[in-house]
Amino acid sequence: MERAAWTTAVKVGGMREVEPGATGAAGGGWLGPCGAQARVEKGVRRGSVKASAAHRRAALADRLATAGIWALSILALSTVALVIGAVLWKGLGTALSPAFVFGKPQAMREGGGVWPMVVSSFHLSLLTLALVVPLGVGAAVYMSEFAGVGRLARLVRFGADSLSAVPSVVFGIFGMVVFVVYLGLGYSLLAGALTLALLNLPTVMRSAEESIKAVPRSYLEAALATGCTKWEAVKRVVLPVAVPGIATGAILTAGRIVGESAAVIYTVGLFVRRVPWSPFRPAAPMAANIWHMYTEGALVPDWFRVASGEAALLLLIVLTLNLVARTTAKAVRKRMGYRD
């Protein structure tokens, strides 16, 4: 049988035309099946070598990234554990003493307690939450359900995010000028609560807005389909589902208020000997009193014991509030049928 004028030889990756008189790899005129198979095997071997090299590089990069992430995580956790351990090591024994927690502070003698400071911190937190939660949740409802995505809504969100980055000492000076001096409230719990409400309003508003946005849109649509108005649907359907997130944000805000010092120094006070039950009286939250003890408390013989114990007690309160926030949110979500 005569060969055709041109013979087509199949090769992996394309087609190749060979003249009858051309010599192949073995010196023959026609590139037969054996030559094609050899080239296929050679190409497969080269591809396998390249694939294995790429796999080794990817595995090495994965191991390096994993080791780096673990190293950074261990460093961050070690730093937090070091700070918590140092504070508790110096003051935990004093903080767990009932005589210290429920005792009356002393200005010139040793052995004083911090009960008025504890009451001042919780009183200030309750007043601030009573002001900031209704305003923050109301603003979040309006921004998420009624304002839409217009220019005004974007401007309000930008302003809230910008205010969140302002240092608390700036709010403290503002509160001193406006509430303490101009409005004549003086150093009082009310002046501090108004100042802290302005400080925490952007955080509460944004956290509540995110909690409301996390509610499935189908809930609102189903309520509207039954004939409810927009406000009735939000009040009866959306807000109850968003309660866990809103409550978590409020409790975390309470922890931030208890630990705030820069803003309350200029508006509330540093040291008191009686429990401030009235919102119009001066007070001494624990964070401000700790600063006072470390800077101006040299007249108290055991000022270091008082400051260390109060710092440990404040840390325990903040950690407890964070734990309560997470536990409450988890319990409410479980009760409402959600899974974490």
**Residue 110 DSSP SS3:** coil
The pLDDT value given to residue 34? 56
The pLDDT value given to residue 7? 44
CA dist list (Å): 112 to 103, 143, 302 = 6, 49, 9
CA distance 307 to 286: 9
- What DSSP assignment string belongs to 42-93? HHHHHHHHHHHHHHHHHHHHHHHHHHHHHHHHHHHHHHHHHHHHHHHHHHHH
Mean pLDDT by 10 residues, the chain (340 residues): 42 44 45 57 62 80 92 94 91 89 84 90 93 92 80 81 86 93 92 93 89 87 86 87 85 87 90 89 91 78 88 91 81 66
160 forms beta bridges with none
Residue 183 identity (one-letter amino acid): L
For residue 109, is it left (φ>0), alpha (ψ between -120 and 50) or beta? beta
CA angle at residue 137 from 166 to 174, to 5 degrees? 30
Tokens 């909690």 belong to 211
9 forms beta bridges with 16
The pLDDT value given to residue 9? 42
Do residues 318 and 252 make contact, with C-beta atoms less than 8 angstroms apart? no
| pTM score of the predicted model | 0.75
- Runs of H (alpha helix) within 148-188: 151-164, 168-175
CA-CA-CA-CA dihedral for 100, 106, 110, 114, to nearest 10: 20
Q: How many DSSP H helices and E strands does the chain contain?
A: 12, 2
Do residues 284 and 120 make contact, with C-beta atoms less than 8 angstroms apart? yes
Do residues 284 and 269 make contact, with C-beta atoms less than 8 angstroms apart? yes
Tokens 């950690």 belong to 319
The pLDDT value given to residue 176? 94
CA distance 210 to 161: 13
- The dihedral through the CA atoms of 74, 77, 80, 81 has a sign that is negative
